[in-house]
Structure 1
């Protein structure tokens, strides 16, 4: 119990120092990681290596993804490609429901793509549509974030739910997991969308723009005119669509059924479909949108500006991972699992464990995989031993892995920093949105259990 109180105190300290005292989240998170290492009684010799390992692993895993994703966003903004995409989407979906537009796009994109990467790729589109539709960019950030989150945690071939299906023995029933997971994820995204809609007309003070980020606060007509001749929408979508398609193909190629075999074709798809390479290809396609004289200078300005925009995001994200690494190395996660696994709440047990682990250490994927390993031996005692019970357990775990996104979650910082949402505002918008989404997903799973079990 003392470790839980320590966690609460650390999270409260992060909120206070970042939201009230305006201290850099990077400093607050690193400080929390160091203090937490001592407070959770980690061996002194292990504290620094734990922090450095988690920090470095996160930079290694998503550093290039964030950097090249930011480059794609800037090249789309500088070239007018984002405006072309916004025009094309609005022609199809209209301007009446911009939050719905972003939620649906995110829901589809995150089936094969990590939600962090998806938000980075789609962020420029979100900003352009927010200006075009004259709605709150914060509300649209919530809609996109939660649309991505829904399928990221519940629908294979995203690695988390795919790993959970394997751990729970339903990998051969992956079609069932996908088929039932899609409507449950839609319910979750819909609930979060309702919350995002309450923010549609609200005004929030945003963080100042960095020097590398273009101005998008003028009227849409002025913004559109400032670009002159816009690139065709068909070409403007390529820097986003091509990486998504490549990542999708690589994900499906890794399915147990091996749809592309196990030879040269699969190897090639795994290479070009890795997120970093896919985004490099997307950026190369984006550079083709640059026009006029001085394209080399434009290219260099975009690269320099992207580094300036991405660097704070990378550092804050890695610091959040360092904090999560300290929590993961403590006895806190074991305490949570041991005390929640014997409550006899049926399908709600995996949800509670996953939610507790997610809230404690930040990573949805880690929470999913850890919870699946913990509950696999309990399925029979929980009344979930049959195939359908195990499938529903995958969804219950995924629902718990959404609750809640806060300071120790890299996704929280990716969304808040790219959207220029102050920490205090992020806690009032992003965090409750993920709580609503996770609870809605669990309720949908419970209702389905009443029907099929």
Structure 2
């Protein structure tokens, strides 16, 4: 089998075009779009059908092996925190600390913390009732409040495991989950600040008519503050300790235990168990229904990231990375290339998860020529991909419409404030990652 660069690029672009067209225009589930793209690209570079299928199976299986438990446990933790009202407790506590005068900043911080275990769309729906109430009580524009909350949630969704995009990219590229989580939190902070800043700057210029919504979370028994925060804080602390504990370098059995507890699977399991303390009203039916809901949510995510792993394996089998790196001066792009690729895919088809998974599959074989084939380089590459997957959220993104629907904001307002905020978030994230690459690589 012989292929030239032009044929390789046409096959790659055809695969990407299939993903964008099927998901963005025809609303085909991302799993099937990625599945079809595997064959389009593989056959385009003259891979035998049997080899394509073998590569897809291997790629799918490897992703499930490395990410399956993390995704399921992370989803379960989010579902339990929603059910027990822990998210509302955390939001109210942060508001008391910051003060009503800075309610928008409080909601941005709340979104950031709540977004660590909960997907951005679910987190926004859960907190939208509180957000609307605060907007009425404080007189702050609902535009500012809505976009501040939305961008706080969005910053961690795109950058930090156990969210599916960052988790899948870590599995495909080969980065340490624990270090990615800790570093991702630090990088996400400037991105969230940029989003909140633009919300204040642009939102105050736009008068928005607030609408009432009936799909708000009803009040009910809630846990104490410390119990509400515990399932979020403890796994992060355990993962941080485990990520920076070298089990081979110490003979101390105590450190070995911390290293084991710091494994993301174990740490998230601890978080799930702690989340049950958020309510005393547990019974067999409630528990079963919540776990069923979590498993179903996780299943939808797992098939997407599994198909992304299959697509990446086909690209590796086709040696696309070798062809591209041999012909193009990608070394001069460095950390900027992953960002640009992910942002192009995000803007074109709408899903941050699909954008980062697809981009990671393409970038992985190019790591040596990009100068990112080291532990630190892979870590920064994933963060650059995450920043790109923020840029730009607009009308083809489901999260865009969640914000609009639950806040009563018109599309024009959403584009002027929220969409531009995601552009600033992505650019600020790129600058932070680029500075880190200059310091660390």
Q: TM-score, normalised by structure 1?
A: 0.64
Residue 249 of structure 1: CA displacement?
Answer: 1.0
**Aligned mate of 1:13, from 10, 14, 18:** 18
Tell me the alpha carbon deviations over residues 219-273 of structure 1, each in whole angstroms, 9 at most, x when there is no partner.
65xx342x1x3211111111111111111110121399x6xx3432232122211
Q: Please say if 1:272 is aligned against 2:256.
A: no
How far residue 120 of structure 1 moved from its aligned partner, in angstroms, is: 3.9
CA contact (8 A) 1:351 1:399 kept: no
Is 2:387–2:426's contact at 8 Å kept on the other side of the alignment? yes
Aligned to 1:374: 369
Deviation readout 1:314-365 (Å, 9 max, x if unpaired): 112222222233233333322333344377x5xxx31344447767983787
Secondary structure, counterpart of 1:237 in structure 2? helix
Deviation at 1:277, TM superposition (A): 1.3
Aligned position for 1:96: 104
Deviations 1:23-42 (A, max 9, x none): 22221121112222212333
Deviation sequence 1:355-403 (CA, Å, 0-9, x none): 477679837877887666335599xxxxxxxxxxxx9x89985664346
Q: Which moved more, 1:331-340 or 1:349-358?
A: 349-358
The answer to whether the 8 A contact 1:80-1:230 is kept is yes
- 1:183-332 equivalence runs, <5 A: 187-191=190-194, 218=214, 223-225=217-219, 227=220, 229-254=221-246, 261-292=250-281, 295-332=283-320
Q: What are structure 2's unaligned runs of at least 5 residues?
A: 1-5, 133-141, 162-168, 346-354, 391-396, 405-410
What does 1:95-174 correspond to in 2, within 5 Å?
95-97=103-105, 100-101=108-109, 105=113, 118-120=116-118, 125-134=123-132, 140-147=149-156, 149=158
Q: Distance in 2 between matches of 1:320 and 1:449?
A: 27
1:82–1:32 CA distance, 2 compared to 1 (3 A): same
Moved more, 279-288 or 436-445: 436-445
Query: Which residue does the alignment assign to 1:155?
Result: none
Whether the 8 Å contact between 1:71 and 1:303 is mirrored in structure 2 is yes
2:385 aligned with 1:401:
yes
Report the structure, 1 or 2, having the larger helix content: 2
Q: Distance in 1 between matches of 2:8 and 2:87?
A: 47
The question of whether the paired residues in 2 share the 8 Å contact of 1:362 and 1:405 is answered with no
Uncovered stretches (5+) of structure 1, i.e. residues with no partner: 110-117, 153-157, 166-173, 204-216, 379-390, 407-414
Quote the offset at 1:92 in angstroms.
2.4
CA distance in 1, matches of 2:279, 2:29: 35
C-alpha separation between the residues in 1 aligned to 2:314 and 2:268? 31
Partner of residue 135, structure 2: none
Residue 36 of structure 1 is matched in structure 2 by 41
The separation in 1 between residues aligned to 2:264 and 2:372, in whole angstroms, is 34
CA RMSD of aligned residues (A): 5.0
Distance 1:395 1:319, change over 3 A: closer
